[in-house]
Amino acid sequence: MTERETWATRAGFILAAVGSAVGLGNIWQFPFKTAQFGGASFLIVYIVAALGIGLPAILAEFVIGRKANLNTISAFEKLGYKEWRVVGAIGLFTGFWILSYYS
């Protein structure tokens, strides 16, 4: 079995992860949404939602990826959760769906 490639630097990985998580839609829509829905109150709800939903999701993704060192579908199978392969497939196809929105 050939060894998989890894990130050359930690900073490169962090920048790629942040760029993927933030996305262009978030940057373009954020000032508009903030002004439209009440400024500071919207900002507080936005930060709570981003930290409450986004942080646990990305931490789970990091842990599963580091432990399994496989693709999203095969990772759950290797870790012993075969019925969770559907979650990996949903994550994979969600990426394609989001990409089609920006293309």
Range in 3-7, 8-12, 52-56, 95-99 with the lowest mean pLDDT:
3-7
The whole-angstrom separation of Cα 25 and Cα 99 is 11
Total count of residues recorded for the chain: 103
Q: List the one residue out of 76, 78, 71 whose CA is nearest residue 86.
A: 76
Model confidence band, residue 1 (pLDDT cutoffs 50, 70, 90): low
- Inside any domain, residue 38: yes
Summarised one tens digit per residue, pLDDT across range 51-63 is 898 889 888 888 8
Q: Give the structural domain span for 98.
A: 10-102
- Inside any domain, residue 1: no
- Inside any domain, residue 4: no
Using the structure block, give the residue that is written with the tokens 């940057």: 27
In order, the DSSP letters of 49-75 are HIIIIIHHHHHHHHHHHHHH-S-HHHH
- Inside any domain, residue 37: yes
Look up the pTM and report it: 0.54
